[in-house]
Amino acid sequence: MLPGIDWPLARNLIRRGSIRHTFGNVRRNADGSLRPHQGWDFEAAIGTPIHAIADGHVVMVRDQGDYGKQVVLAFDVDFDGDGRKDRLFAVYAHLSAIDVEPRQAVARGKLLGLTGDSGNARGMPLADQHLHFEIRTQPVAGRGLSGRLTPLVVFGVCPLREAAYRQKLA
């Protein structure tokens, strides 16, 4: 994991331990062709607290489209190893409650809100309730993978079969 980064949930595990809930062309259309999934889906029952993965500031809070209630957090990190910090954006989607406002500065570990079933996650059974989480190079991105990076760039590992846990902050 990169310095200054932490996990968004107390317990982080990819939904159902399935590669289909990770980043990239991992899903299939009805005709069998590949289609992208833009982030990671972490198992999370409705009402699970979500936290800032880094020091930063909230650039957007909205309730719109497939993602439903969302928080977008801007943060700076040297993810590409060139010695300079780059601006990235963490997107938390399908929330039920949001406890921050746009332009608010937040510290790593700050409570941002609660997971939910907004957007296209509405009505999912308990086993499929989740936090949709993305890393972006811009605060708003369109369809597909454009403007998005795999969360591996900040976390270093994908918790597909074994959960990863938030660090205890002093």
Compute φ and ψ for 158, nearest 5 degrees.
-110, 120
Q: Is residue 80 part of a domain?
A: yes
Q: Which CATH number goes with the domain that contains 131? A: 2.70.70.10
Q: In this model, does residue 169 exceed pLDDT 70?
A: no
Counted residue by residue, the chain has a size of 170
Q: Is residue 154 part of a domain?
A: no
CA separation, residue 145 to residues 5, 13, 47, 66, 100 (Å)? 22, 22, 28, 15, 27
CA separation, residue 151 to residues 2, 48, 155 (Å)? 11, 20, 6
- Out of 63-67, 77-81, 143-147, which region has the weakest mean confidence (pLDDT)? 143-147
Q: How far is CA 24 from the centre of its chain?
A: 14
Q: In this model, does residue 27 exceed pLDDT 80?
A: no
Output the pLDDT for position 26: 72
Whole-angstrom distance, CA of residue 111 vs CA of residue 156? 23
Q: Is residue 146 part of a domain?
A: no
Q: Is residue 2 part of a domain?
A: no
- Model confidence over 36-52: pLDDT tens digits? 878 999 999 999 999 99
Q: Is residue 6 part of a domain?
A: no
Q: Is residue 169 part of a domain?
A: no
- Considering its fold, how many domains does the chain have in total? 1
The domain in which residue 132 lies consists of 11-140
Q: Is residue 47 part of a domain?
A: yes
Whole-angstrom distance, CA of residue 164 vs CA of residue 81? 23
Percent of the chain with pLDDT over 70: 99
Whole-angstrom distance, CA of residue 102 vs CA of residue 141? 18
Output the pLDDT for position 170: 53
Whole-angstrom distance, CA of residue 97 vs CA of residue 20? 26
In three-state secondary structure terms, 103 is coil
Half-sphere exposure of residue 97, counting CA atoms within 13 Å on the CB side?
10
Whole-angstrom distance, CA of residue 52 vs CA of residue 7? 8
- Model confidence over 83-113: pLDDT tens digits? 999 999 999 999 999 999 999 999 999 999 9
Q: Is residue 150 part of a domain?
A: no
